[in-house]
Amino acid sequence: MSRDEHRDPLDGTVPKVVQVVRAASSLAAQDVNFFKTLDGSLGQEIDSSASKLLGSISSLLNNITDEVQDSRFQKMDFDSDYAWKHITNTIDHLFEKADIKLDELSRSNAGKSEPSNTKLMYLEDKDVVNNNSNISFPTKVISKPQDNFRLKVDTTEKNPFKPKISYKPNALISYDESLRLRNPGGCSDFSFYPQPYEYEIDNQPYPEFVIQKKEPIEPKPWKETSATWVDSKEGLLSMVNELKNSTEIAVDLEHHDYRSYYGLVCLMQISNRQNDWLVDTLALRDDLEVMNEIFTNPQILKVFHGAFMDIIWLQRDLGLYIVSLFDTYHAAKKLGLSKFSLAYLLETFAKFKTSKKYQLADWRLRPLSPAMKAYARSDTHFLLYIYDQMRNKLLENDGRLQEVLYESRQVAKRRFEYTKFRPTSGTTTALVYSPLMVSNPREPYSSIMSQYNVPAFKKPLIEILFEWRDRVAKQQDESVRYIMPNQLLVTLASLNHPVDAQKVITASSYVTESVRTHAEEIANLLDMTLKQIEKQDWELMNNIYDQNEPYRHSVDSITISKDQNVFNNLYETCSRLFTTFDKDIFTQESVLFSDKIRGITDSFSVSYDKGKPTSTTTLDVCNRINFVRQKFKEMSQEKVTPNILQNDGTSTSPESPAHTAAAVQTKPREDPAEIIKLKTKKSSSVKTNSPAIVDEEAPIKYNESKRILDGTLPKSKTKNQKKRSYDPYAQGYDGPKPAKKQQRLNQGRTTTFNTRK
């Protein structure tokens, strides 16, 4: 048989179906009926295809389940949206049931095909909650645990962060030297306290068994063991004594950061090869320094997963530091696994399926439910077993284990520092963590402006709200998200002047309690800032206007003298030119200039106004021009009346005749042939200072008016022009006004542009 005979008959079906689906998707549903009306044959074909499709779907559903009856769809109109919507809902329901059945089938097949020790275990509430137990959860808002701490949380940030240790076990460098304040140098901008165990982390060798390949040690059975709850000093010391005999321990933390400015370590999970412990770090916050005897012992390997933040939380809240760290997160990256999460490692290496239900739970709750305790215990119960398998895999590849240990050292050397004293340059900057980690420490609010696309002119508003939020959060020891979320901050910054407390409260559908309480204060801050922005805008506009004005400056005597010398030189040059035409012009008085030129040296005088020199002149430029034109008029015998624009903007003419009856009678007659009469425009009812307009038609002279000859005469209203139709939406219409459109943020427009148009 040929190759074409073996071809699957469905090979060409899928591409055709894809093309049909693409064409159908590009066609809007509301356009189908329109195209059906354009072509009757097309409409019949669409109806026939829809009927066949509906029948096929009905038959298919009947074959899948008995819950669907054929009459349920056959009697429906295929043009009805309800019919097709009901079909899609039914198909979605069947798909969900199929997924559930496939999941159950995969579990059962896994149990049959794999040994019993590799079967997946599931963390579920029914597996961890005792049926006889009566679990009660708090029904009201819990009190803040930090109110009961002996050592209160300091949020003032007046000094650099000082490590919370009173002694230094397992030290290579003394306690006094490790806690000596260092002056700023090339890698820091402020004085700071170093990480006390930085030297030990770099120089203490890992235990030898870490680089040896061994058979993985399976953990104790999950359902046969339980975790020990530690919330007293006696229980803490008992746990420490037992951990001293361990060679490897697994550690994890549960953290809460919504009702605290820095955050709180609420729970610590610790496991060795035999037991699991859950340490109440809220009750023992001020007593856990003894754990440094375990955590800083280089012969005890500490296994964490993703200790990037755990290292910071331990030293910030509890004063604990880690030496000989093994981070399974970096091990997963070096092994090239598809995922790096702890849940994936538990499922892959320990065959344990955890739940994400309590990942974001409030771990401040006391007492913890059995389900929450089981979730916390699962994070460390299998972690040493996972470490054994990953270590063996890393040893199979030369150099990868050393790379993981190096990355783990870098994580362990991280130190906590207040935002104010965080270094901005140097090689160790990446190892320093602050509560506010931003790329631009000088403008920490710039990330909010970039994220929410806030215009640049709103920057002062964002800044004042950002600083107010941070100050209140520190005072109340609350997170900035609890005081004012970023979205609410941007919404408040978009308010326009004037701003009052009512505007602040109604600015968003969700307003926090802190914003409601301080609504008046926030309104005053916004209103004051908006006024400052508006003032700056007007000052900026005035500066731009001043720069665009003509150049003006006060003239002093030196400038006047220079200008006078230039004029005298020009006058002498022109006098020589005059002699070539008429010697009498040079020897006798000049008809054009006469004493005007000779008196130029006396025409300038200097006066002072408020200490600044100003130039004045007695030479009337306009009169000089009129004088020259009058002389030209007399010489040429042309009766031209000059119209000179005076300094005050009025139009005058020298020796203009008075408007008297005699003058009007002596006025020469114009030629009627050169005059054309145009219908004058009716005078407006608005009163002006101009003289009364005569209703008679005003004559227009073609020989004296250039506007008519140039075709620049304004068009008058013709009879054929249609009358303007009535506009019901004009200004005089007293109908209801539409609702105001909500103002949006316009990039580049200032507050002045929006408020004063």
The answer to the question of residue 20 being in a domain is yes
pLDDT at 548 over 60: no
Q: What is the average pLDDT across 66-92?
A: 58
Domain total in the chain: 4
Residues β-bridged to residue 677? 699
pLDDT at 90 over 80: no
Nearest to 302 by CA among 255, 252, 264: 252
- Beta carbons within 8 Å of 58's beta carbon, 6+ residues apart: 68, 70, 72, 73, 74
Domain closes at, from 399, 433, 467: 433
Query: What's the rounded Cα separation, in Å, for the pair 647 and 156?
Result: 68
Nearest to 353 by CA among 331, 372, 386, 375: 375
Query: What's the rounded Cα separation, in Å, for the pair 626 and 613?
Result: 30
Domain closes at, from 527, 548, 569: 548
The answer to the question of residue 22 being in a domain is yes
**Residues 611-634: pLDDT tens digits?**
555 544 544 556 666 776 677 667
- Beta carbons within 8 Å of 592's beta carbon, 6+ residues apart: 628, 631
Do 321 and 454 lie in one domain? The reply is no
- Beta carbons within 8 Å of 711's beta carbon, 6+ residues apart: none
Among the ranges given (22-31, 340-349, 414-423), the one the predictor scored with the smallest mean pLDDT: 22-31
Do 420 and 452 lie in one domain? The reply is no
The answer to the question of residue 684 being in a domain is no
Q: Please give the residue that has the higher pLDDT: either 345 or 442.
A: 345
Q: Please give the residue that has the higher pLDDT: either 581 or 60.
A: 60
Q: Please give the residue that has the higher pLDDT: either 423 or 722.
A: 423
Do 416 and 460 lie in one domain? The reply is no
Q: Please give the residue that has the higher pLDDT: either 455 or 19.
A: 455
DSSP code string of 30-88: GGHHHHHHH-HHHHHHHHHHHHHHHHHHHHHHHHH-TTS-THHHHTS-TT-HHHHHHHH
Most confident of 3-12, 271-280, 654-663, 704-713: 271-280
Q: Please give the residue that has the higher pLDDT: either 50 or 454.
A: 454
Q: At CA 477, angle to CA 476 and CA 483, rounded to 5?
A: 65
Q: What is the average pLDDT across 208-219?
A: 94
Do 66 and 97 lie in one domain? The reply is yes
Residue type, 282: L
Is residue 703 very low, low, confident or very high in pLDDT (cuts 50, 70, 90)? low
pLDDT at 216 over 90: yes
Is residue 697 very low, low, confident or very high in pLDDT (cuts 50, 70, 90)? low
Query: What's the rounded Cα separation, in Å, for the pair 258 and 674?
Result: 94
- The kind and range of the H/E element at 615 are strand 612-617
User: Parallel, antiparallel, or unpaired for β 325-327 and 612-617?
Assistant: unpaired
The answer to the question of residue 297 being in a domain is yes
Question: Would you say how long the chain is, in residues?
Answer: 757
Do 451 and 410 lie in one domain? The reply is no
User: What is the predicted pLDDT for the residue at 21?
Assistant: 76
Is residue 555 very low, low, confident or very high in pLDDT (cuts 50, 70, 90)? low
Do 538 and 620 lie in one domain? The reply is no
Residues β-bridged to residue 304? 327
User: What is the predicted pLDDT for the residue at 268?
Assistant: 98
DSSP summary character for residue 192: B
Do 411 and 356 lie in one domain? The reply is yes
**Residues 254-301: pLDDT tens digits?**
999 999 999 999 999 999 999 999 999 999 999 999 999 999 999 999
Q: Percentage of the chain with pLDDT > 90? A: 43
Do 489 and 531 lie in one domain? The reply is yes
Domain closes at, from 653, 681, 712: 653
The answer to whether 322 and 307 have CB atoms below 8 angstroms apart is: yes
pTM over 0.85: no
User: What is the predicted pLDDT for the residue at 534?
Assistant: 86
For tokens 């030119």, what's the residue?
Answer: 577
Q: Please give the residue that has the higher pLDDT: either 260 or 82.
A: 260
The answer to the question of residue 110 being in a domain is no
Q: At CA 706, angle to CA 702 and CA 707, rounded to 5?
A: 100
Do 459 and 587 lie in one domain? The reply is no
The answer to the question of residue 495 being in a domain is yes
Do 414 and 495 lie in one domain? The reply is no
Do 338 and 450 lie in one domain? The reply is no
Domain harbouring 174, CATH code: 3.30.420.10
The answer to the question of residue 82 being in a domain is yes
Do 261 and 164 lie in one domain? The reply is yes
Query: What's the rounded Cα separation, in Å, for the pair 683 and 602?
Result: 52
**Residues 663-695: pLDDT tens digits?**
444 445 555 555 444 444 444 444 444 444 444
Nearest to 342 by CA among 390, 393, 279, 392: 390
Q: What is the average pLDDT across 733-745?
A: 56
User: What is the predicted pLDDT for the residue at 136?
Assistant: 38
The answer to the question of residue 752 being in a domain is no
User: What is the predicted pLDDT for the residue at 439?
Assistant: 76
User: What is the predicted pLDDT for the residue at 582?
Assistant: 46
Query: What's the rounded Cα separation, in Å, for the pair 49 and 43?
Result: 10
Residues of the domain holding 263: 147-433
pLDDT at 579 over 70: no
Q: Percentage of the chain with pLDDT > 70? A: 63
Nearest to 271 by CA among 302, 296, 298: 302
Query: What's the rounded Cα separation, in Å, for the pair 672 and 651?
Result: 28
Asked if residue 367 has a cis previous peptide bond (ω within 30° of 0), the answer is yes
